Amino acid sequence: MKIHFISPDGETTQTVESKAGDNLLDVAQNAGQPLEGTCEGQMACSTCHVIIARDWFDKLPAASEDEEDMLDLASGARRTSRLSCQIELTEALDGLVVHIPAESRNMQGV
């Protein structure tokens, strides 16, 4: 499976290989993308916030209420924002396009 990461300035695309069952945050971090994931997937920060391309957003399972609450605190959040730690990749997401936001806000104050 391929995941396409778009840089904050929109100028650079990095395509990486992944497999079904992988966590999007782990894939991004292993590819060197600038996502902290400070809370290690516990939904206690928004440092793994990403913006999913519109064409792909509806293919994801709906965000939980807890995730939506944390996204309300994410810097630069948009309608298609998600926490990458909450996205488990499936075969249906082969080709997923993920935009890296220009800034992040660490809600843990670390």
Classified as helix, coil or strand, 46 is coil
Q: Residue 108: pLDDT above 50?
A: no
Tokens of 61: 């399972």
- Residue 31's nearest CA partner among 8, 13, 56 is 13
H or E element that contains 99: strand 96-99
The pTM score is 0.91
- Residue 86's nearest CA partner among 100, 70, 104 is 70
Cβ pair 51, 80 in contact under 8 A: yes
Q: Residue 109: pLDDT above 80?
A: no
Is residue 104 very low, low, confident or very high in pLDDT (cuts 50, 70, 90)? low
H or E element that contains 13: strand 13-17
pLDDT in tens, 2-20: 999 999 999 999 999 999 9
CA distance 80 to 107: 20
pLDDT in tens, 24-68: 999 999 999 999 999 988 888 899 999 999 999 999 999 999 999
CA distance 75 to 97: 20
